[in-house]
Amino acid sequence: MTGLEFWTYFFLILTFGIYIFIAWRSRVKETKEFYVASQGVPTIANGAAVAADWMSAASFIGMAGMIAFLGSDGSVYLMGWTGGYVLLALLLAPYLRKWGKFTVPEFVGDRYNDTVRVVAAICAIVISFTYVVGQMTGGGVVFARFLGLDPQWAVVACAAVIFFYAVLGGMKGITYTQVAQYVVLITAYLIPAVAVSQHLGNFPIPQVTYGRILEELDGLRTDFGLHEFTDAFAGRAGGQLDVFLVTLSLMLGTAGLPHVIIRFYTTKTVRGARFSAFWALFFISLLYLTAPAVGAFTKLNLLQGAQGSTEDDLPAWIAPWQEAGSVELNTTGEITSVSNVPGEADLVVSNDILVLASPEISGLPAPIVGLMAAGGMAAALSTAAGLLLVISSAASHDIYFRMIAKEKASEARQMNVGRIAMAVAVVIAILAGLNPPAFVAQVVAFAFGLAASTFFPILMLGIFWKKANATGAAAGMLTGLIFSGGYMIYTLELFGTPANDHILGISPEGIGPIGALLNFVITIVISNLTRPPSEEVQEMVESIRYPAKQQLEAAGKE
């Protein structure tokens, strides 16, 4: 066993042992514990769990890789994902927590009706499934490289671990497991970043060294036929319009993601829900403010190592990643071009490995490489577990319990149905993860686009416009889902169909805001043309927005 294999197994076994121990100690028997941890999670712990839930394989593995190849346009992920949390904290989380329900579909059902609840549950399952495919892909990359598994079996192994502790502990187990996973992933991300920063710029703060190397990186990228790292709107074919739309899609999607919103039901109070968002932003910022530097450092080291290399003297890191199926060498001579598109250059490197391979590319010691592998798995596992819980709750609580069993099913039966739904979702996600439609960060962005098109408008109107009704909400959500999902299928190579050109340069990651606009328009128009909600529902909406109204009226009468 090599030193790298030893440290990889050491960190993976240690961290997995911690996760499974926490899940076992937190195992639950009641649905309230399973779905919302009995609404007893402390604020700071919930913030760390939200951060871990949020910083998926897309953030840990994919984001810096996208920045490395897209250059400054990769900032759409940073701006969109963090900006969306501001919308969530100010406009949605406190009001949904005040409503006091388990799931987003449950809020939708109470606000509109059970038909809309079913539509919302279907949307939640589609969004979460799309998102979880990215996590399976990311976890498979880690297992394939660091455990030497065949890429297909690596995805299966990752899925098995996720399923085990998600089923065991429910939201309570997942929450405290995610606190531990946050500690692992942020440690694994920051230590290599600091080490590489010291190596490149003789200064241990990555953000400072990042500014110092940009000119050198721009020059190297030009030598390899790439656009300069700092060029605005050069990394996306759709230019400025697509950059704007992708950023907005990620923002609106963040505020509408079911697996993130459900986190704010686990706090003890409404105030705790708001402060959980603050702590989550703080914990997330530790990684997000470092990601541009990690992307730039890795790309600089990659290009410097590749410059002048031939098949006989390739950098040592290339061979193992080539065996894992993530690097493609298309020349027997000198490497003169580097890309992330298969078949396009002498050296093709997947976006999804740049962060994981960063310690090896930079020549860091084996323990740091092993720690990075553990961090990548922590990111993939933490988010996937939360997503599976959303799928479980939508299937068992919102569809089976409410619509099929008519609220007569026992808690044990509800939980069993939820676990079966998880198992089915895992199997389907494995099949999709074996042949993903895009890079990890892009697949996750598709989920955000779907959330922006479906949930964000309905939640906003449900809270802030008391005349929004069930007919309008159902039509709006279905319009957003069909429009955005259809455009993604149209522009992606899926199910054996060829990819079509982007309309007006709009990428499938950027279609969400247009779907959201259609959702808003359809819901408002149909709500105005049909019967308004009952007075009881309208008063309930007002009480959520103005919680002190009844108390003030009572005081005035006295």
Measured CA to CA, the distance from residue 74 to residue 243 in angstroms comes to 9
Question: What integer pLDDT is reported at residue 508 of this predicted model?
Answer: 93
Q: What pLDDT score was predicted for residue 36?
A: 46
With a pLDDT cut of 70, the percent of the chain lying above it is 88
Domain boundaries along the sequence of the chain: 3-547
What's residue 475's pLDDT?
Answer: 96
Angstrom distances, CA of residue 221 to CA of 11, 63, 273, 537: 35, 19, 45, 59
Mean pLDDT of the 157-162 span:
81
| pLDDT of amino acid 258 | 76
Q: Across 130-134, 208-212, 549-553, which has the greatest mean pLDDT?
A: 208-212
Q: DSSP secondary structure string, 126-143?
A: HHHHHHHHHHHHHHHHHH
Banded pLDDT at 470 (limits 50, 70, 90)? very high
Higher pLDDT, 142 or 529: 529
| Range among 203-212, 215-224, 544-553 rated most confident | 203-212
Amino acid making up residue 34 = F
- pLDDT, tens only, 174-183: 777 788 888 9
pLDDT beyond 50 at 254 = yes
Q: Residue 543, exposed/middle/buried by CB under 10 A (0-12, 13-18, 19+)?
A: middle
**Apex 509 CA angle, 504 and 511, nearest 5:** 55
Q: What is the pTM of this model?
A: 0.85
pLDDT bucket at 164, cuts 50 / 70 / 90 = confident
What's the pLDDT at 205?
94
With 0-12 / 13-18 / 19 or more C-beta atoms within 10 angstroms meaning exposed / middle / buried, residue 231 is middle
Answer with the residue of higher pLDDT: 514 or 68: 514
Give the tens place of pLDDT for each residue, 487-535: 999 998 776 677 788 999 999 999 999 999 999 999 999 999 999 999 9
**Residues 493, 494, 500, 502, Cα dihedral to 10°:** -90
Q: Residue 29, Cβ neighbours under 10 Å: how many?
A: 10
Q: Please report, for residues 229, 352, 452, the alpha-carbon distance to residue 267 in angstroms, rounded to integers and kept in the order given.
A: 42, 34, 25
**What is the DSSP code (8-state) at residue 338?**
E
Rg (CA), the chain: 23
Is the pLDDT at 358 greater than 50? The verdict is yes
For residues 236 and 243, what is the distance between their CA atoms, to the nearest angstrom?
7
Instruction: Please report the pLDDT score of residue 270 as a whole number.
Output: 64
pLDDT exceeds 50 at position 558: no
Class of domain 3-547: mainly alpha
Q: What average pLDDT does the chain have?
A: 83
d(CA 111, CA 127): 21
Tell me how many degrees the CA angle 234-138-104 measures, rounded to the nearest 5. Answer: 90
Buried b (16+ CB within 10 A) or exposed e, 127-160: bbbbbbbbbbbbbbbbbbbbbebebeebbbbbbe
Query: Residue 446: CA atoms inside 13 Å, Cβ hemisphere, count?
Result: 26
Q: What is the pLDDT of residue 187?
A: 93
Lowest-confidence range among 51-60, 228-237, 323-332, 505-514?
51-60
pLDDT of 37 > 60? The answer is no
Please determine, for residue 167, whether its predicted confidence score (pLDDT) is greater than 70: no
pLDDT score, position 458: 94
